[in-house]
Copies of this chain bind each other. A is one copy, B any other.
Amino acid sequence: MSELDIVEKIRRLGKRGPRITLGIGDDCAIYRPRPNDELLFTADQSIEGVHFLPDQSPSIIGHNALARSLSDIAAMGGKPRFCLVSLATPPERGAKFIDAFYRGLITLARRTKTVLAGGDLARSDKIYCDVMVCGSTTRGQALRRSGARAGDLLYVSGRLGKPWGGRIEPRLELGRALRGRATSCMDLSDGLSLDLHRLCLASAVAAVVDRVPIMPRATLDRALHGGEDYELLFTLPPRKSPPRGTTLIGAIVKGRAGAVQFQGQPLVPRGYDHFVS
């Protein structure tokens, strides 16, 4: 198996069209944006031993690698357009791993209409991957973290406290439904306590949380601080009704920027931090 053979296999998974006029196999992919779009860009890494264990199913590793970035596009209310996938693997994992990884990734890519437009392949000691996704919204429509105002109500989708190693399902439809309605939005990728702290910092507000919807068999601690949820956290003005499948968990209040209370006590942001053990 040579790099040329692998690239040729991956190239067949890619697609061209009126907007992706050049895909895998040249120095760059070419994308022709629509006239009134603004483009959203995000990149997320998936690293063996940090985001997944070496014995996890390669197709779930591929699925989740793309899903992490799609979750950021969902958080801004975007529609995914294309992705670049950079993958480094130990040569001894071989073509079998690469095939299964791309099978998991491309299944999710096709379902969400995300074109595989390019990327990079290399060898490494451990499996490492980085997925960049480009999404789009109409100008001025993207949801941001910074728009929450005192008096807004605070919601999350789904239930929190998901276990490590499951399949991530990006909330793309919910994100798009929130455009023009939510005053702020972000995805929960490092735990509610840390992510809500970040949302409050970006919006220069404080928040109170009364309750959280918890996954069956999860602890409250995991629901408040676990980093595997990939649900959306968002704020609505009090007069707006929330979409189905979302739960009111609290409210935005005046106070020190970033301060969060849970059931009357300060909630310390101790979600996942890569550089603090």
Contacts and interface: CB of A to CB of B under 8 A. Distances in A.
Interface of A: 1-4, 6, 21-22, 25-33, 35, 37-45, 47, 49-51, 72-73, 75-76, 78, 82, 84, 86, 88, 91, 117-126, 128, 130, 132, 134-135, 139, 142, 144-146, 186-187, 198, 202, 273-277
A231 to B, nearest CB: 13
28 contacts: A1-B276, A4-B273, A22-B144, A26-B76, A26-B144, A26-B186, A27-B72, A27-B73, A28-B42, A28-B73, A28-B75, A29-B40, A30-B40, A30-B142, A33-B33, A42-B118, A43-B119, A44-B86, A45-B88, A47-B122, A47-B124, A50-B122, A50-B123, A50-B124, A91-B275, A123-B274, A123-B275, A125-B126
A3 B126 contact: no
Given A132-B84, A276-B3, A28 B41 contact: yes
Given A41-B118, A125-B126, A274-B3, A72 B28 contact: yes
Of A26, A120, A134, most buried by chain B (CB within 10 Å of CB) is A26
A196 to B, nearest CB: 13
Contacts of A30: 38-41, 76, 142
Nearest to A21: B38
B45 A122 contact: yes
Contacts of A128: 45, 47, 88, 124, 128
A44 B33 CA distance: 23
Which of A82, A120, A202, A273 lies at the interface centre, i.e. has the most chain B CB atoms within 10 A of its CB?
A: A120
Residue of A29, A128, A142, A273 most packed against chain B (CB within 10 A): A128
A128 to B, nearest CB: 5
A261 to B, nearest CB: 19
Taking each of A44, A145, A275, which has the highest tally of chain B beta carbons within 10 Å of its own beta carbon? A275
Nearest to A73: B28
Nearest to A22: B144
A27 B187 contact: yes
A120 to B, nearest CB: 5
Nearest to A5: B275
B42 A27 contact: yes
Contacts of A42: 27-29, 84, 118
Given A50-B124, A123-B274, A274-B122, A28 B45 contact: no
> Which 6 A-B pairs rank lowest in CB-CB distance, beginning with the nearest?
A130-B130, A28-B40, A27-B72, A27-B75, A28-B42, A123-B274
A215 B122 CA distance: 27
Nearest to A273: B3
